[in-house]
Amino acid sequence: MPINVLMPALSPTMEKGNLAKWLKKEGDAVKSGDVLAEIETDKATMEVEAIDEGVLAKILVPEGTADVPVNDLIAIIAAEGEDVSAAAAGGAPKAASNGAAKPDAKPEPKADASAANQNTTPGGGHMGYERVNAAPEGAQPGGAPQASTGGRVFASPLARRIAKQEGVDLGAVQGSGPHGRIIARDVQAAKASGATQAPAAPQAAEAPKAATPAPKAAAAGGAPAGLTTDQVKGFYAKDAYEEVPLDGMRKTIAKRLTEAMQVAPHFYLTVDCELDALMKLRETLNGSAAKDKDGKPAFKLSVNDFVIKAMGLALTRVPAANAVWAEDRILRFKHAEVGVAVAIDGGLFTPVIRRADEKTLSTISNEMKDFAARARAKKLKPEEYQGGVTSVSNLGMFGIKHFTAVINPPQSSILAVGAGEKRVVVKDGAPAVVQVMTCTLSCDHRVLDGALGAELVSAFKGLIENPMGMLV
């Protein structure tokens, strides 16, 4: 039977992707593990692998197509031994851009939603697949979108998980995926409309209620309703500006950080850290680095490498702070995961240094150089920039003395690092010139109370001012 290839969800928050390039063409044999296509998300370009064997019978979404919704049908694979022409002719038609089936299209029968597979692996993503089975009884004719048939609700695994977490009744959600299938954005839209509680079971004689239509999509930033585009433009002369459409990355940044400020109660703790001892140790360690035959050192430590290591160790020394908020509980971690903000054209990435408490300074340094290079090329994998407990955002290289940063969900804190500069301080009752760096920790008050946040900042400051503690 034909195998429908769906636009995969390459991360928990992905709603749409760009089909950048097909690496197989119609008629090509496909083996499990073969790279079928390259998908561009808001963060990276991913190679997507096949998980079934057969022949690529039909490509329904051409390369270069932008904003293809997750779970939209993009290709058909003829299974081994199956007639390729029949598979291509008998497969489901291409879904419209909003995910609904074409009005004149024959309805595509669906297998159970669990048949779709949207996993991500270190080597790349897997396509979403579903087998085309016989239509269930009660299917509506005419290709009308339908999310539920005979008591069965057709929804993606991600949509089901979000609905369970948010208390959304899938039976009252209008699906916008292929042929009415419910996908993640439908559940989120239903939650925003107030459909957050499953209704009581109806009486036997009661007629089933019509599905509640999904509301219109929220603004690009995902924020509460504010000024509309036309209202904002009305304040300015038409020739005073140019319009720059939002790309996927900027939309995601706007949405997630707006949500962070609305949901996570931020408070801020600022300390001044003396750098003299750290700078001397850094010079010594860099001077001792082994060199290759071309004279290139094995590592070159930056102040930021020390900051990352210090945050990792501080989290393990204050284990109650090494945690994140998870709706009805706190997740406390055994090792430190420290994200590091990397600015790129049009946005930023936050790759995560895993087990930062255990890694050497040289390992952290070389890992960050690799992350930064691949971030700027948009070649990071989702598992390299998702998760983390805290992050470091360093604007010292721009001469910024002090700032506060917005927590990156689901993390519970972020450290804003300013420039190191010479300042006059009082030591032993006399003025002295020392190099000082101002750091501000933004804390999620749901996870860190004031005293706990202060304990974490104090541990960090102690490691920065006594850096030999990072070497033992």
Q: Which residues are catalytic?
A: 445
Q: Strand 73-79 and strand 35-40: pairing?
A: unpaired
From residue 279, alpha-carbon distances to 285, 415, 437 in Å are: 10, 20, 12
Cβ atoms of 9 and 184 closer than 8 Å = yes
**SS3 sequence, 423-462?**
EEEEECCEEEEEEEEEEEEEEECCCCCHHHHHHHHHHHHH
How many CB atoms within 10 Å of residue 335? 15
Residues 6+ apart with CB under 8 A from 105: 92, 93, 143
From residue 94, alpha-carbon distances to 83, 91, 172, 227 in Å are: 20, 9, 26, 36
Cβ atoms of 315 and 390 closer than 8 Å = yes
Which residue spans within 23-97 are E strands per DSSP? 29-30, 35-40, 45-49, 54-59, 65-69, 73-79
Q: What is the Cα–Cα distance from 359 to 353, expressed in whole angstroms?
A: 9
SS3 content of the chain, % helix, strand, coil (to 5): 30, 25, 45
How many CB atoms within 10 Å of residue 47? 15
Any idea which residue has 């999509």 for tokens?
A: 217
CA dihedral 98, 72, 138, 211 (to 10 degrees): -40
From residue 52, alpha-carbon distances to 77, 99, 111 in Å are: 8, 24, 16
Residues 6+ apart with CB under 8 A from 98: 69, 176
β-pair partners for 54: 30, 79
Cβ atoms of 415 and 460 closer than 8 Å = yes
Q: What is the Cα–Cα distance from 364 to 370, expressed in whole angstroms?
A: 10
CA 359 to chain CA centroid, Å, is 25
From residue 347, alpha-carbon distances to 156, 222, 394, 401, 449 in Å are: 30, 17, 15, 22, 31
Cβ atoms of 441 and 280 closer than 8 Å = no
